[in-house]
Each structure stands twice: as structure tokens, then as C-alpha cells.
Amino acid sequence: MGLDCWASILGDCGSGKSREHYISDGIFDGESVTAFGLPWCRDNPITLGLKSATAKILCGKHNSALSEFDAEASKLSKFLLTNVLAAPLTESATTLNGFRLEKWALKTYVNLGYIRGLHREQTNRLEPTAQLIRYIFRNETIADGVGLYFVTGKLSSENYQGGLWWDAIQNPANPAEIFGMAFTFYGIRFVISIPPIRAERKIAGLGLVKGFDYSYAKIIYRPSNVSLKSGTGGLKRIDLQW
């Protein structure tokens, strides 16, 4: 059986087959994860060890090249776990590389699309464009509007969700066509958009989705910072360098 690597268009695959965590194991604080909606658990959630939450979708060389992006997402998750959950009353701040966090989100989107896990009805494998692959691995220029958006909203102990939750953004007229992915990262809401246009209005146009109304949110492309404010807790600030 041949090598299956979604970055093979680069023409420099190496180090044989590898197991890529379709969602980075470094963002979780335990040794297991509950999955739901993926091809093997469409209807019922299952708990599996993080070491098993992998797929042979990248060669060893390209898998290793993504490690700095995984590390940036892990840094964010540790900050939120430590300062939002464990120490909500203290003020705290951290600085992240925005491009690395964006590329982590993009490769997670590609991973999920490649294994047909972006939404429960996905049957066709999502093949990333050459431009997207070259941006992720070679930092080649990508069109303005492609990438990471922050979505403002309220976060409380009642609506807080740990881990990573996502929904595909689909064309209503053709659900097989996927434009991107909305996701919450330990309660913070982001969107990954793929079309080469600024997407603020289109994201706001999603309206009410699973109890959240995007039309009332502020949509920010490549935000310079994310602040978590509370009337009783300390300010949490995440600065993003671009």
C-alpha cells in the first residue's frame, strides 16, 4: 500500500508513514479523550486513549514539520487551564505567535476533512489546495481573508466547554462544499475560513448556530489580542503576534 500524505503535492515526502494526531494531543490534560461525530463514532461518543487518536495521513517528514504549531496550541490550552479554570481570580497574560496558532487550526481543519470528520454527514475526503499546503509548510503567501478569525462572546462556568468542539461551515445550497470550520477552544470561539476573501460578513451571516448567534458577535480577522473579562475574576489577556 502506498504512502498517504495530504502534503504530498510538495514532492518532498520522507521518513515513511507516520501517525498524525488529527487533533493535537498536547492540548488535552489527560491520557484519554471522548470523540463524537468522527467516521467511527457518528452516532455515539466513545472514549479512547490519546495515543490511539491518530491516522496515517502524513509522512514522517511532514508530520514532524507541524510540531511547532502543535506546541503553540498546547501553550494556549495550558494557559487557559491554569489561569481560567484553576486561578480565575488572578490577572494573567500570555503571548502567542499568531501565525503558528493559525497554522495549527488550519492543519487541524485539513486533518478532520481528510478523515471525513468535519461533520457527521461528510462522505467525501477533503483535499487541501496547493496554496494552503504551501502556506502551512513553506510559509508562501496566502490570500487576505484565509485563516483565523476570533468571534467575541460571553463565557461563563455554565457554558464553558473544555477541549475542542467544531462545526463545518457548509454551502447551504450544496452541503458537500465546505468553506471552513467554526470551533471553540476551551470556550474561546474561532473560525477558520478557506475562500480567498475577507469573511467577517459571511461568518456573521451564519446567524444562530447551536445556541450561539454569530450575527451579534464581533468577528476579527487575525486578532492582535483576546481578552477574557469578568466582573468578579481577573483579566486574562492573550496577545497574538503576527
- Asked if the structure places residue 61 within a domain, the reply is no
- What was the pLDDT predicted at 32? 40
Give per-residue pLDDT as tens, 168-213: 888 888 877 889 999 888 788 999 999 999 999 999 999 998 888 9
Is the per-residue pLDDT at 93 higher than 90?
yes
Owning domain of residue 177:
70-241
- The count of domains in the chain is 1
Give the Cα separation of 168 and 173 in Å (integer). Answer: 14
- Asked if the structure places residue 7 within a domain, the reply is no
Give per-residue pLDDT as tens, 15-53: 888 766 556 555 555 444 444 445 444 455 454 444 455
Give per-residue pLDDT as tens, 222-242: 999 999 887 777 888 999 999
- Asked if the structure places residue 59 within a domain, the reply is no
Can you point out the beta strands (E) in the chain?
17-21, 32-35, 46-49, 54-59, 92-97, 147-151, 164-171, 174-185, 188-193, 208-209, 212-213, 219-221, 225-228, 236-241
b/e map 224-234, b = 16+ CB within 10 Å: eebebeeeeeb
- Asked if the structure places residue 141 within a domain, the reply is yes
- Asked if the structure places residue 18 within a domain, the reply is no
- Asked if the structure places residue 31 within a domain, the reply is no
pTM to 2 decimal places: 0.88
For residue 206, report the phi and psi dihedrals to the nearest 5 degrees. -65, -30
- Asked if the structure places residue 114 within a domain, the reply is yes
- Asked if the structure places residue 38 within a domain, the reply is no
